[in-house]
Amino acid sequence: MRYFDFSLVFLTPHSSLNIIMDYRDAGVDVEAGRAFVNQIRSLVQSTFRQEVIGGLGGFSGCFQLPSGYQEPVLVSGTDGVGTKLKVAQILNCHDTVGIDLVAMCVNDVLTSGAEPLFFLDYVATGKLDQEQLTQVVTGIAMACKQAGCALLGGETAEMPDFYQMGEYDLAGFCVGIVEKSQMLNGSQVQVGDVAIALTSAGVHSNGFSLVRKIVSEKGSSWSDRPELLNGQTLGETFLTPTRIYVKPVLAARQAGLEIHGMAHITGGGLPENLPRCLGNGQAVKIDTNSWSIPPVFQWLAQVGSVSPEAMYNTFNMGIGFVLLIPPHQAQQTISYFESHNQAACAIGEVIAGEGELVGLPVST
């Protein structure tokens, strides 16, 4: 579904030479765009599910709803990667940010209990670099496979003078499906439910304006290997992609675990995101000693002199996803995810309140 405008020809009326110009003279290489589409064709098609109708290259993507649903509800989500892209571009490492793009969208859709069906991307760049953007799309395709959704199509826009050479921006769009009776909307959450945290892979894709500020203003380099990070460079650490929770969480529901609510911990950390899955008159009491803060967050707090309150309000602090589970299934849920190579732990419980998180650091 990637397409480019055709070349345009202009005659200059005030020139006796009638100088001929085309789109390439304006900085847009149509032929390079077509070559890029051909280069990524197999990557895109490798993600197709049986419900995909047609192929790549049309004006739209077509997808037939899966069978077996009585009252299917479509769930949509959109997101980007933010200024983490700056780090990828500085380091000329582009194979992980596509994973971030998909993860940010499919994890959001998952919180309603939905299975992601298909994904679309929008890539904008100043000058199309086939090798660079093929790395990006490789990551997108890899993540779509991890989430079980089809990369149905997308758009690549070459925008000279809008983006600098080597720069690009990404946006993603995901549609999922859930049976209406199985959709999570906060009404299922009960006081006494246990909050089970699924660990993050690191900083994921939020807080990078602060990350970049700390690295640039505190005399660090992306090639530095702080002792806290066990030999990894700062670049490697911060480009670790966002974890995708779709398959293990959907499998847990199918296995009979009773999940009352879910939260994807993104921008704003636990305080911003966990309350979004609660019902009216509810809050969550958090025990911050119930999990170990990963070293990358310790490094940010120490080097950047960032307060505990600001850390929790900016970063995921090692928790990428939270499930609200009835107490009698809490240990079973933890054991289930650990048996599927996903670390999990109980970090608190639902209490009566007005959407606040009790127990997190506050400013003094």
Share of the chain above pLDDT 70, in %: 91
- Structure confidence by residue, pLDDT tens digits, 98-107: 999 999 999 9
Q: Are 183 and 72 in contact (CB under 8 A)?
A: no
Whether the predicted pLDDT of 31 surpasses 80: no
User: CA-to-CA distance for 356 and 353, rounded, in angstroms?
Assistant: 7
Strand ranges for 200-353 from DSSP E: 261-264, 282-286, 319-325, 344-352
Which of 20-24, 76-80, 254-258 has the least mean pLDDT? 20-24
Cα-to-chain-centroid distance, residue 39: 24
Split at pLDDT 50, 70, 90, the class of 184 is very high
Q: Are 24 and 30 in contact (CB under 8 A)?
A: yes
Q: Distance of CA 266 to CAs 115, 120, 309, 327, Å?
A: 19, 20, 16, 25
Q: Distance of CA 332 to CAs 236, 257, 261, Å?
A: 34, 8, 16
- Structure confidence by residue, pLDDT tens digits, 137-165: 999 999 999 999 999 999 999 999 899 99
Split at pLDDT 50, 70, 90, the class of 204 is very high
Identify the pLDDT of residue 64.
Answer: 94
- Structure confidence by residue, pLDDT tens digits, 48-74: 999 999 877 778 899 999 999 999 999
Q: Are 151 and 182 in contact (CB under 8 A)?
A: no
Q: Is the alpha carbon torsion for 290, 292, 297, 302 positive or negative? A: positive
Identify the pLDDT of residue 120.
Answer: 97
Pair of tokens at residue 240: 């670790």
Closest CA to 245 of 178, 146, 142, 136: 146
User: CA-to-CA distance for 14 and 273, rounded, in angstroms?
Assistant: 60
What are the structural domains, with CATH classification, of the chain? 10-182 (3.30.1330.10), 194-358 (3.90.650.10)
Pair of tokens at residue 272: 């911003």
Split at pLDDT 50, 70, 90, the class of 313 is very high
Q: Are 91 and 111 in contact (CB under 8 A)?
A: no
Residues in the chain: 364
Q: Distance of CA 39 to CAs 2, 17, 33, Å?
A: 12, 39, 10
Closest CA to 117 of 253, 277, 246: 246
* 204-212: average pLDDT: 97
Q: Classify burial at 88, counting beta carbons within 10 Å of its beta carbon; exposed 0-12, middle 13-18, buried 19 or more.
A: buried
User: CA-to-CA distance for 311 and 108, rounded, in angstroms?
Assistant: 22
- Structure confidence by residue, pLDDT tens digits, 70-88: 999 999 999 999 999 999 9
Helix (H, G, I), strand (E, B) or coil at 352: strand
- Structure confidence by residue, pLDDT tens digits, 324-346: 999 999 999 999 999 999 999 99
Instruction: Tell me the average pLDDT of the chain.
Output: 91
Identify the pLDDT of residue 42.
Answer: 85
Identify the pLDDT of residue 39.
Answer: 73
Whether the predicted pLDDT of 14 surpasses 50: no
Whether the predicted pLDDT of 15 surpasses 80: no
pTM for the predicted model, two decimal places: 0.91
Q: Are 288 and 308 in contact (CB under 8 A)?
A: no
User: CA-to-CA distance for 41 and 57, rounded, in angstroms?
Assistant: 9
Q: Distance of CA 70 to CAs 52, 127, 182, 253, Å?
A: 21, 47, 11, 18
Q: Are 242 and 305 in contact (CB under 8 A)?
A: no
Share of the chain above pLDDT 90, in %: 82
